[in-house]
Amino acid sequence: MMMTAVEALTISAPILSFHTQPIPKSNNYRYSTLNCTENRMPINCKSSARESFYPIKASSSSFVAKNSEPMVPPYNVLITGSTKGIGYALAKEFLKAGDNVIICSRSEERVKSAVESLQMESRKQHVWGIKCDVRKGDDVKILVAFAQEQLKYIDIWAAMQINNAGSNAYSFKPLIEASDEDLIEVVSTNTLGLMICCREAINIMQKQSRGGHIFNIDGAGSDGRPTPRFAAYGATKCSVVHLTKSLQAELRMQDVKNVIVHNLSPGMVTTDLLMSGANTKQAKFFINVLAEPAEVVAQYLVPNIRYVPENGSGRPTYIRFLTGLKAYSQIFSRLAFGARRNRHVLED
């Protein structure tokens, strides 16, 4: 399950964990102004909700492979960690948009159940699932082979390395109380698993005439702020942003122009894992003010993700659901007008 921006529950307001990507300064480059969506409706805006990682030269054609095939919908989408929570919600929204979707998780039973539910909810059959442990390179290779067999190619790979709330490794406790097994579970899933997925995604996508887009899902700690009571988790999520930037740099150095790596920030999502931390007055306050159900977050993120290939852009982006401005606006509305009280949990 997704645990994102949870450190906001453990620190004093107004110090929160928001991603405010600095805009690099340069007189020789320009920056992309992209469309962003609100409630699934495109609007022109200059927003930190989706912005370019790096400056780009005035001629954007240099980012597109000369012999590339245009990427047009419906898209072929692969989502790891997608049998529940935000991953499942993303899969559902991609299906609604008419895309083809492959889901996976470590549990064959959960995969089967999720595929059946998605087919029933979307009334569409173009969704497939397979058991996969992203910590194992052979499993991920099998996942890629399965995707090629079903879809021939992968346009969008959303890499979500998440465990459920029942895992002891993802409970709220100080690092000194964490066992070796807990730490290995968190790091191997969120860091090693992400690296393996990115490696295999880049390897297959750069061979495709259509290329591909990789979206790495970040979470609490990814902006460098502390995450007490789940320090290991925060450390792995901080590594997501660094890994994404490093991969972008490697692809530029290798002159790979048809594979683009992006970051995706869902903000605070009301998963079982997040709600399990709602045991203090402060935690309940922030959950009610800032958190949203996975379905609401996915309805915002999917159109923005799909816009990237639709726009034909070869530029890395950072798509955020919960921006700093949006969060502070909601906090102000709560403090000034009592808005969003008791939305998800009853407050004292």
Name the residues annotated as catalytic.
233
Pull the structure tokens for residue 133: 């442990």
Report which residue type is found at 286.
F
- Using DSSP, state whether 275 is helix, strand or coil: helix
- Nearest of 74, 40, 73, 16 to residue 295 by alpha carbon: 40
Contacts of 244 (CB under 8 A, 6+ apart): 53, 216, 261, 262, 263, 316
The phi-psi region of residue 231 (left if phi > 0; otherwise alpha if psi is between -120 and 50; otherwise beta) is: alpha
Whether residue 14 is preceded by a cis peptide bond, meaning omega within 30 degrees of 0, is: yes
Q: Where are the beta strands (DSSP E) in the chain?
A: 35-38, 41-44, 50-52, 76-79, 100-105, 127-131, 156-159, 212-217, 259-265, 317-320
Contacts of 91 (CB under 8 A, 6+ apart): 77, 79, 82, 101, 103, 114, 118, 127
Contacts of 288 (CB under 8 A, 6+ apart): 334, 340, 341, 342, 343, 344, 345, 347
Report which residue type is found at 4.
T
Compute the distance between CA of residue 261 and CA of residue 44 in angstroms, rounded to an integer: 23
- Using DSSP, state whether 81 is helix, strand or coil: coil
301 - beta bridge partners? none
Q: Which residues of 42-72 are buried (b: 16+ CB within 10 A; e: fewer)?
A: eeeeebbbbbbbeebeeeeeebebeeeeebe
What is the DSSP-derived secondary structure letter of residue 307? H
- Nearest of 140, 30, 132, 7 to residue 82 by alpha carbon: 132
